[in-house]
Amino acid sequence: MITLYDSVKRGKCEFVSIKKNEIRMYVCGPTTYDHSHLGHARSAITFDLWRRVFLAHDYKVIFAKNFTDIDDKIIKKFLDSQNSQTPFASIESLSQHYIKSYLDDMDCLNVLRADIEPRATENLTPITQMIGDLLKQGYAYNGENGDVYLRIKSDSAYGSLTQKGKENNENLLARIENMDDKMESRDFALWKGYKGKEDFGYESEFGKGRPGWHIECSAMIEEHLAYKDENICIDIHAGGSDLFFPHHENEASQTRCAKKKELAKYWLHNGFVTINGEKMSKSLGNSFFLKDALKSYHGEILRNYLQGVHYRLSLGFNEEDLLSSKKRLDKFYRLKKRIGLHENYPKDAKQLQEFYYHNSKQAQNDFICALLESLSDDLNISKALSVIEEMINRANEALDKTPKDKGLCKQIAHNLNTISALLGIGTLDSQEYFQLGVDEQKRELIKSLISKRTQAKAQKDYKLADSLRDELKNMGIEIMDLSTGTTWEAL
Ligand SMILES: [Zn+2]
């Protein structure tokens, strides 16, 4: 059984998919005007973790995440870049640049690529069709500046998701968009009319312009993901908790009005990443680029930290917590090294599904059942981590008693591989993991000191050999003599 916290029901409930064995899931992706920060990473990791849990339950998961590749912020960045030393050639090349950057960063975090990655600019036809539908049915109206607005008054169910915006409340909604030529301040733009030279637009039946942010998701879900024969489009709609209102409320309203369908059966939202108690955001100037964090820490170490706090809580980023969560990962790799596990790990959703399929044929032992059970309880990560810790402790004790027991090693390897598959961590070779953070120059130096020491030992100059070992230790490097030669780890 899977239980999840549905933001609309404001409580945990049992997950029942619309169709048997299949899940259609949509996550609101980034607006591509800058590199991603830790908040993006947390959202991506959260829903990647959910996806892995659904896959482990043998669901066929169709997972979509969009790119908002046309937006005010993108246009501003493009125009600003024209006066810089590195101007972007076009809006498209700017978006493409940051889409690549996002995908590269997410690859570093072992976030599986989405099955469908729709972009607004590639979906102008379904977007304008939906706007046209809303106009025809009287749910939308033309403003004077070429804008088209949703008439919220005409949707009696508006506000049913978030309990916000049910009445036209100037204070609540005026901050979202300027009044312009709207009938009510809570109405929002489906289409933004072309405003001249400093703007960007596409031709359409309602004049030159570009889509509003909210309509993209509704139209792209209808185009790429929605069940056509059900009264609900998809199983799960997800995103950061800041998207719940107004973005998700508006998405749901558009689909309800245009298609007479509810947009999603369940709504999932992840908490913020905060720095010194404040939400990390570009506008506050306290955003922490993922690329910068990745310079200091390997993606797995970051992932392990970011997913170690329950996804609905806010996570106050600090390096102390990161390093203490790394100790858990060290224990995993220590055991992986101890049993000599070098298996190549599945890298995409298809391989992962095969891994689970293969595994379901093997006996599901108590550990795997307990791990999956805790994650299936609204991603109860602290329970999952304690189940893992217990397994690792027991495995080490058993190996102390019977280190050469092949059956035992096989069972432990199976457990470790399952952790990797479910949590997206532990996928490196253990040797590589314990050498992380050592640059090329230092690696060369270590290599030459080790080879000098090997020579000294061969010449029975143990004094020199020992002093070289000490020198390495002072550099933070520990060496181990194995039957295959000498290897090293960063302390
Ligand atoms: Zn969205």
pLDDT tens-digit series, residues 158-197: 999 999 998 887 655 544 555 567 888 889 999 999 988 8
Q: What b/e readout covers 356-375, taking b as 16+ CB neighbours within 10 angstroms?
A: beebeeeeeeebbebbbebb
pTM of the model: 0.94
With contact defined as beta carbons under 8 Å apart, do 322 and 301 qualify?
A: yes
What is residue 167's predicted lDDT score, i.e. its pLDDT? Answer: 85
Nearest to 218 by CA among 194, 203, 234, 206: 234
For ligand 1, the distance from its centroid to the CA atom of residue 255, given in whole angstroms, is 12
For ligand 1, the distance from its centroid to the CA atom of residue 400, given in whole angstroms, is 52
279-293, 298-312, 326-340: lowest mean pLDDT where? 279-293
For ligand 1, the distance from its centroid to the CA atom of residue 248, given in whole angstroms, is 6
For ligand 1, the distance from its centroid to the CA atom of residue 375, given in whole angstroms, is 26
For ligand 1, the distance from its centroid to the CA atom of residue 124, given in whole angstroms, is 15
For ligand 1, the distance from its centroid to the CA atom of residue 40, given in whole angstroms, is 14
For ligand 1, the distance from its centroid to the CA atom of residue 216, given in whole angstroms, is 7
CA–CA dist 30, 99 (Å, integer)? 9
For ligand 1, the distance from its centroid to the CA atom of residue 130, given in whole angstroms, is 15
Which residues have a Cβ under 8 Å from the Cβ of 42 and sit 6 or more positions away?
270, 271, 273, 306, 311, 315
For ligand 1, the distance from its centroid to the CA atom of residue 418, given in whole angstroms, is 32
**DSSP calls for 380-445:** -HHHHHHHHHHHHHHHHHHHHH-TT-HHHHHHHHHHHHHHHHHHS---S-HHHHHTTT--HHHHHH
What is residue 285's predicted lDDT score, i.e. its pLDDT? Answer: 63
CA–CA dist 348, 267 (Å, integer)? 25
For ligand 1, the distance from its centroid to the CA atom of residue 1, given in whole angstroms, is 28
CA distance from start to end of the chain: 42
At 410, list the tokens.
């096989």
For ligand 1, the distance from its centroid to the CA atom of residue 281, given in whole angstroms, is 18
With contact defined as beta carbons under 8 Å apart, do 188 and 150 qualify?
A: yes
At 1, list the tokens.
């059984």
Tell me whether strands 232-240 and 22-27 are parallel, antiparallel or unpaired. Answer: parallel
What is residue 279's predicted lDDT score, i.e. its pLDDT? Answer: 73
What is residue 349's predicted lDDT score, i.e. its pLDDT? Answer: 80
Residue 362 has pLDDT above 80, yes or no: no
What is residue 3's predicted lDDT score, i.e. its pLDDT? Answer: 98
For ligand 1, the distance from its centroid to the CA atom of residue 24, given in whole angstroms, is 15
Average pLDDT over residues 309-336: 95
Nearest to 336 by CA among 278, 374, 391: 391
With contact defined as beta carbons under 8 Å apart, do 352 and 52 qualify?
A: yes
The larger pLDDT score, comparing residue 350 to residue 476, is at: 476
For ligand 1, the distance from its centroid to the CA atom of residue 251, given in whole angstroms, is 7
Nearest to 243 by CA among 479, 467, 29, 437: 29
* CA-CA-CA-CA torsion sign (195, 196, 199, 203): positive
The helix (H) or strand (E) run that includes residue 58 is none
DSSP, collapsed to helix, strand or coil, labels residue 279 as strand
Average pLDDT over residues 408-419: 92
For ligand 1, the distance from its centroid to the CA atom of residue 116, given in whole angstroms, is 14
Average pLDDT over residues 307-323: 95
What is residue 94's predicted lDDT score, i.e. its pLDDT? Answer: 97
For ligand 1, the distance from its centroid to the CA atom of residue 291, given in whole angstroms, is 24
For ligand 1, the distance from its centroid to the CA atom of residue 346, given in whole angstroms, is 29
With contact defined as beta carbons under 8 Å apart, do 410 and 423 qualify?
A: no
What is the edge-to-edge ordering of all strands in the sheet holding 188-193?
A: 140-142, 148-150, 188-193, 209-211
What is residue 355's predicted lDDT score, i.e. its pLDDT? Answer: 79
124-133, 174-183, 361-370, 440-449: lowest mean pLDDT where? 174-183
For ligand 1, the distance from its centroid to the CA atom of residue 214, given in whole angstroms, is 6
For ligand 1, the distance from its centroid to the CA atom of residue 323, given in whole angstroms, is 34
With contact defined as beta carbons under 8 Å apart, do 183 and 151 qualify?
A: yes
Q: In the structure, what pLDDT confidence band is assigned to residue 258 with cuts at 50, 70 and 90?
A: very high
What is residue 180's predicted lDDT score, i.e. its pLDDT? Answer: 64
Average pLDDT over residues 454-459: 95
With contact defined as beta carbons under 8 Å apart, do 464 and 471 qualify?
A: no
CA–CA dist 63, 241 (Å, integer)? 19
For ligand 1, the distance from its centroid to the CA atom of residue 175, given in whole angstroms, is 19
For ligand 1, the distance from its centroid to the CA atom of residue 86, given in whole angstroms, is 31
For ligand 1, the distance from its centroid to the CA atom of residue 58, given in whole angstroms, is 27
What is residue 361's predicted lDDT score, i.e. its pLDDT? Answer: 55
At 47, list the tokens.
């829903």
Average pLDDT over residues 434-456: 95
For ligand 1, the distance from its centroid to the CA atom of residue 82, given in whole angstroms, is 29
What is residue 177's predicted lDDT score, i.e. its pLDDT? Answer: 52
For ligand 1, the distance from its centroid to the CA atom of residue 28, given in whole angstroms, is 4
How far is C-alpha 359 from the geometric centre of its chain's CA atoms? Answer: 25
Q: Mean pLDDT over all residues of the chain?
A: 92
Residue 284 has pLDDT above 80, yes or no: no
Average pLDDT over residues 143-151: 92
For ligand 1, the distance from its centroid to the CA atom of residue 313, given in whole angstroms, is 21
For ligand 1, the distance from its centroid to the CA atom of residue 298, given in whole angstroms, is 30
For ligand 1, the distance from its centroid to the CA atom of residue 73, given in whole angstroms, is 16
For ligand 1, the distance from its centroid to the CA atom of residue 312, given in whole angstroms, is 18
- With a pLDDT cut of 70, the percent of the chain lying above it is 94
What is residue 171's predicted lDDT score, i.e. its pLDDT? Answer: 57
Q: In the structure, what pLDDT confidence band is assigned to residue 321 with cuts at 50, 70 and 90?
A: very high
Q: In the structure, what pLDDT confidence band is assigned to residue 428 with cuts at 50, 70 and 90?
A: very high
Residue 359 has pLDDT above 80, yes or no: no
Average pLDDT over residues 434-458: 95
Average pLDDT over residues 194-221: 94
Q: Give how far Cα 302 sits from Cα of 27, 40, 291, 298, 331, Å.
A: 21, 13, 11, 7, 16
For ligand 1, the distance from its centroid to the CA atom of residue 264, given in whole angstroms, is 12
**DSSP calls for 135-193:** HHTTSEEE-TTS-EEE-GGG-TTTTTTTS-SSS--HHHHTTTS--TT-SSTT-EEEEEE
